[in-house]
């Protein structure tokens, strides 16, 4: 396998969600890695190359694309399938001993991936499903040290099928398992997952109901927040497959599909327009604009990672998150609109209120308070 012992694997640790916010508790890669080669320590991710089995599951499993390689990326599969132009294509992993097709199957295309099939993202399975009928060869999985990856691979495949159905296509995917006696071929059907709980982290946080304070990070001049709560507007950490998905989804969309489940968020009237949610959002799925003394919160489901960061960073707990069936996940939705004014003390936009003070300045002591505090101390000292 191309990545065995972590060869050619690059880890962009600054993209990890745990580095963006200490309350995120993401551990997708750590909990699914079949070699237990990933360690999360002090909000930082480390790869123990000696233990790495080379499956590449972390490539597709990480929501912010922390793992990648200069030597290989999954777009090569799409190019190969396009070049072959076959009506149906079989996909083999790098361990498969018989990657080439039998005589009876000559009219089919064949692609061997230099890693485990689980390294392919759900967005890429979607793109492949638009071009060809997909046959996944799982014959070698039973004895493979990476067999625990198969469930994650199936989740990606089945999510892609759900998106294909939602965008008006009939997904044609089968698992082929010549080693398994009970089922040789399993024709798959797109199912609507509609999961409210999408990960172990979701489950954990929903049980504990934990909301942590934002971790002090890089400061931004344009925020009225006190230094320890300031955070710079970050880059966009949307993975490449999700950027490509937007184009494929919109270019191939046909009416008549069954809407698929995508992340949604709701804002309550407790919002004070402090801007923390959009500053923390790692993909700019949630943005705030101000025009004509009105703030507008804009949300794009198809760019949302379900990371909870907007919710965790909101100081007034005005954001709730869910999943709902959505026809066009890439439509930018206006989810909240309210009149704003410039804060009388710091000038940042805040929701119109009696004193027109923003959330942070309202909590700061005034000069009068500070003076009376000094007087008090002096007086107490004399006594
Ligand atoms: S899956 Fe990605 S974001 Fe999550 S802990 Fe691993 S590296 Fe960080
Ligand atoms: S909108 Fe919220 S949950 Fe979605 S990516 Fe942005 S911060 Fe994460």
Q: Is the distance from the beta carbon of residue 57 to the nearest atom of ligand 1 less than 6 Å?
A: no
**CATH 3.40.720.10 holds for 1-72:** no
- Distance from the CA of 239 to the center of ligand 2, in angstroms? 14
Domain boundaries, the chain: 1-72, 200-363
- Distance from the CA of 7 to the center of ligand 1, in angstroms? 19
- Which of 286, 323, 332 has most ligand 2 atoms within 8 Å of CB, for mutation? 286
Looking at all shown ligands, the one closest to residue 267's CA atom is 2
**Structural tokens at position 273:** 């327009």
One digit per residue, the tens of pLDDT, for the chain of length 383 reads 778 888 889 999 999 999 988 889 999 999 999 999 999 999 999 999 999 999 999 999 999 999 999 988 999 999 999 999 999 999 999 888 766 666 666 788 999 998 999 999 999 999 999 999 999 999 889 889 999 999 999 999 999 999 999 999 999 999 998 876 544 556 666 555 444 434 444 444 444 444 444 433 333 334 455 454 444 555 689 999 999 999 999 999 999 999 999 999 999 999 999 999 999 999 999 999 999 999 999 999 999 999 999 999 999 999 999 999 999 999 999 999 999 999 999 999 999 999 999 998 888 776 676 677 777 777 765 55
- Distance from the CA of 222 to the center of ligand 1, in angstroms? 29
Nearest atom (ligand 1) to Cα of 13? 7
Q: Is the distance from the beta carbon of residue 309 to the nearest atom of ligand 1 less than 6 Å?
A: no
Nearest atom (ligand 1) to Cα of 19? 8
CA dihedral 77, 83, 87, 91 (to 10 degrees): -30
Nearest atom (ligand 1) to Cα of 15? 3
Residues 6+ apart with CB under 8 A from 304: 262, 263, 265, 283, 285, 286
Tally of residues, the chain: 383
Q: Is the distance from the beta carbon of residue 37 to the nearest atom of ligand 1 less than 6 Å?
A: no
pLDDT of residue 379: 73
Calpha distance 72→91 (Å, rounded): 16
Nearest atom (ligand 1) to Cα of 17? 3
Looking at all shown ligands, the one closest to residue 200's CA atom is 1
- Distance from the CA of 29 to the center of ligand 1, in angstroms? 6
Is 109 in a helix, a strand, or coil?
Answer: strand
pLDDT of residue 222: 46
- Distance from the CA of 257 to the center of ligand 1, in angstroms? 32
Looking at all shown ligands, the one closest to residue 265's CA atom is 2
DSSP 270: T
Looking at all shown ligands, the one closest to residue 262's CA atom is 2
**Structural tokens at position 214:** 């934002």
Residues 6+ apart with CB under 8 A from 301: 262, 263, 264, 285, 326, 329, 330, 331, 333
Check if the beta carbon of residue 21 is closer than 8 Å to that of residue 280: yes
In angstroms, the Cα distances linking 229 to 149, 178, 279 are 39, 57, 11
pLDDT one-digit tens code per residue, 173-197? 999 988 765 445 566 665 554 444 3
pLDDT of residue 201: 46
- Distance from the CA of 16 to the center of ligand 1, in angstroms? 5
CA nearest to 23, candidates 204, 268, 199: 204
Q: Is the distance from the beta carbon of residue 18 to the nearest atom of ligand 1 less than 6 Å?
A: yes
Q: Measuring from each residue's beta carbon to the nearest atom of ligand 2, which residues come in under 6 Å? A: 263, 265, 280-283, 285-286, 304-310, 321
Decide if 1-72 and 200-363 have a common fold: yes
Nearest atom (ligand 2) to Cα of 319? 2
- Distance from the CA of 352 to the center of ligand 1, in angstroms? 39
Check if the beta carbon of residue 91 is closer than 8 Å to that of residue 113: yes
Check if the beta carbon of residue 360 is closer than 8 Å to that of residue 214: no
Domain 200-363, second-level architecture: 2-Layer Sandwich (3.30)
pTM (predicted TM-score): 0.84
Looking at all shown ligands, the one closest to residue 57's CA atom is 1
Q: Is the distance from the beta carbon of residue 9 to the nearest atom of ligand 1 less than 6 Å?
A: no
């Amino acid at each position: 396998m191309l990545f065995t012992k972590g060869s050619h694997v690059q880890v962009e640790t600054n993209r990890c969600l745990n580095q963006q916010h200490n309350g995120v508790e993401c551990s997708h890669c750590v909990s699914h890695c079949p070699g237990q080669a990933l360690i999360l320590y002090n909000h930082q991710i480390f790869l123990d190359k000696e233990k790495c089995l080379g499956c590449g599951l972390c490539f597709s499993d990480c929501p912010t694309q922390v793992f990648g390689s200069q030597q290989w990326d999954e777009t090569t599969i799409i190019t190969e399938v396009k070049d072959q132009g076959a009506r149906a294509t079989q996909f083999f992993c790098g361990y498969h001993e018989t990657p080439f097709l039998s005589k009876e199957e000559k009219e089919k295309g064949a692609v061997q991936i230099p890693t485990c099939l689980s390294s392919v993202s759900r967005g890429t399975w979607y793109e492949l499903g638009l071009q060809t009928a997909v046959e996944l060869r799982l014959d070698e999985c039973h004895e493979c040290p990476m067999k625990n990856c198969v469930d994650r691979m199936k989740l990606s495949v089945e999510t892609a099928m759900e998106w294909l159905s939602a965008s008006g296509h009939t997904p044609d995917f089968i698992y082929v398992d010549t080693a398994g006696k009970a089922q040789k071929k399993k024709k798959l059907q797109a199912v609507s997952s509609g999961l409210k709980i999408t990960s172990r982290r979701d489950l954990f946080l929903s049980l504990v109901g934990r909301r942590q304070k934002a971790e002090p990070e890089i400061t931004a001049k344009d925020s009225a927040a006190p230094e320890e709560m300031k955070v710079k507007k970050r880059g966009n950490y949307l993975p490449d497959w999700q950027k490509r998905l937007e184009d494929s989804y919109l270019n191939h969309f046909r009416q008549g599909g069954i809407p698929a489940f995508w992340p949604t968020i709701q804002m309550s009237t407790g919002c004070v327009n402090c801007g923390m949610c959009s500053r923390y959002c790692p993909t700019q799925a949630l943005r705030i604009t101000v025009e004509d003394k009105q703030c507008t919160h804009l949300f794009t489901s198809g760019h949302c990672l379900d990371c909870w960061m907007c919710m965790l960073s909101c100081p007034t707990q005005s954001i709730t998150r869910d999943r709902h069936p959505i026809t066009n996940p890439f439509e930018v939705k206006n989810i909240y609109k309210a009149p704003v004014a410039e804060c009388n003390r710091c000038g940042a936009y805040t929701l119109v209120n009696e004193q027109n003070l923003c959330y942070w300045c309202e909590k700061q002591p005034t000069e009068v308070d500070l003076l009376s505090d000094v007087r008090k101390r002096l007086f107490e000292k004399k006594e």
